[in-house]
A and B are shown apart, each in its own frame.
Chain A
């Protein structure tokens, strides 16, 4: 009886663990099942390299280069904000802040990550966008810059928390050794802690990048969504994610447009997968060393 129960529980929990893997497999399968037929009509080359996206014209053209560039530009802008501030937060929390204040600060950063993306988008739409428009004298406030700023705030907690984990994983004995040699607190931080935590910080950058590229609602609401080529920071741009969100409702199921959007999804999927694997490898590299 007890043994049967034991086996049953083991099988059940195994099933639960395997199901998450199965879910990932299903996602891969269904994305590609819907996307691959698309490439029978359109060559991958003209899909990735084409600069015109007119999915509903006759004949349609499906070039996602403007969206690739839009996603790239917005993500780069976001990282330019999230990486320095994220690392500063990690170092401040891990090395400067007294222990008692660390947890409240971390909760605040966590809340920043917890604010729904649609709320960020709304904030950008009604506050940040118009403000930037007025300040910079732009024809519209819905620009790549607006999206970058908001995405930067949203990716910051990811960068900060992964980097902070790396900073706090640096053993105190290293800090003490450095201080005992007469190094100042600041020197210890830059010459001992940062190098030791470097891999973790890079991992944070990769994961933050994945977060920024995959973000949908915020960019959809604030970036203007025009697939222009070449994109600029102060003009409206459109990202891969926003394209899916905007057009899926109008694309007839099973049609070429529908499949094109799944192809965009598959590219996003592969790219974020790659970023995660690289991020994990870099993070494990830290673990392996110790």
Chain B
């Protein structure tokens, strides 16, 4: 009797987990099936036409890539630097605790609040205006804690013996970090950075007031230009455009492209991680 109940419990857990997997599969499959017919070479490489009721998503795709690259330039060096300080230089102490609390808090701030901050600070106070640069700075701050945490975790996973060996040979802290610790931690750091950028690629709220344009007739020529971005484009097409019910096929296509873009980031990170685990020999 007891056995039956226990079996039932395990089945219940498995059922819950399976339901989660099914949900994921359902969302992806549905978007893939509905979005695939819209995909074409033209869809990827053309500008929107006729008030965004025809044509492609080229400027939004390029804008998102610009945003991602810019975010990487801002957040990855800063985040890795911060993680190196936390894990290699500071090692404990009050300041580190404060910084860590700050990083955790930053990670929990809602993305719309980042948007508000970007508007008040970068766009207005610094006078950068609604631009690629403001968006990149806002997104950079948003993903900074993700990069810091992942990099710190990767640095902490480096065995202490490697550091001791290098110190005992007379290496300075920076030499130890640069020539032994960072190379060992690098795949983990890259994984974290990729995940952070995947997040940046899909965010809408932080760029709504800081960078994103409804429509631009040309690609941005400087960091001070407004940009179109895939997530914002999808939002606008689905809810605010004049004939949103007429462009559903384009919306499905846009959603699918955005989903694929983000999935590529996540799968790349997962593959690198699996590879690290397989090749690890210490």
Contacts and interface: CB of A to CB of B under 8 A. Distances in A.
Q: Do A and B bind each other?
A: yes
Interface of A: 2-3, 5-6, 9-10, 12-21, 23-24, 26-27, 30-31, 33-34, 84-85, 88-89, 91-93, 96-97, 103, 105, 107-112, 114-123, 125-127, 153, 156, 160, 184-187, 207, 210, 213-217, 220-221, 241, 244-245, 248-249, 253, 261-262, 265, 268-269, 272-273, 275-277, 279-280
A148 B115 CA distance: 23
B262 A114 contact: yes
B29 to A, nearest CB: 11
A116 B116 contact: no
Nearest to A87: B16
A11 to B, nearest CB: 10
Contacts of A20: 78-79, 82, 99, 102-103, 106, 144-145, 148
B112 A96 contact: no
B113 interface: yes
Interface size class on chain B is 35 or more
Contacts of A19: 78, 82
- Interchain residue pairs A-B with the least CB separation, the first 4: A214-B110, A116-B202, A16-B81, A88-B16
A276 B107 contact: yes
Contacts of B173: 6, 9-10
Contacts of A185: 6
Name the residue in B24, B79, B113 with the highest tally of chain A Cβ atoms < 10 Å from its Cβ.
Answer: B113
Name the residue in B14, B102, B111, B117 with the highest tally of chain A Cβ atoms < 10 Å from its Cβ.
Answer: B117
Interface of B is mostly: helix
Nearest to A221: B239
A123 B30 contact: yes
A169 B45 CA distance: 49
Nearest to A25: B102
Contacts of B17: 88-89, 92-93, 97, 105
B119 interface: yes
A118 B262 contact: no
B84 A13 contact: yes
B238 A221 contact: yes
B73 interface: no
B4 to A, nearest CB: 11
Interface in B146-202: 148, 172-174, 177, 195, 198-199, 201-202
A114 B202 contact: yes
B263 A114 contact: yes
B13 interface: yes
A216 B99 contact: no
A210 B78 CA distance: 25
Given A88-B17, A114-B266, A241-B112, A33 B120 contact: yes
Interface stretch (B47-55, B203-211, B217-225): B203-211
B111 A214 contact: yes
Contacts of A216: 110-112, 204-205
Contacts of A18: 99
A89 B98 contact: no
Given A116-B203, A245-B112, A276-B105, A125 B82 contact: no
A173 to B, nearest CB: 23
Contacts of A268: 110, 112-113
B279 to A, nearest CB: 15
A168 B231 CA distance: 36
A10 to B, nearest CB: 5
Contacts of B195: 114
B247 to A, nearest CB: 12
B104 interface: yes
A265 B16 contact: no
Interface in B206-264: 208-209, 231-232, 234-235, 238-239, 248, 251-252, 255, 258-259, 262-263
B113 A214 contact: yes
Given A112-B24, A221-B239, A30 B79 contact: no
Given A16-B78, A31-B113, A116-B259, A122 B234 contact: yes
Name the residue in A91, A105, A217, A273 with the highest tally of chain B Cβ atoms < 10 Å from its Cβ.
Answer: A217
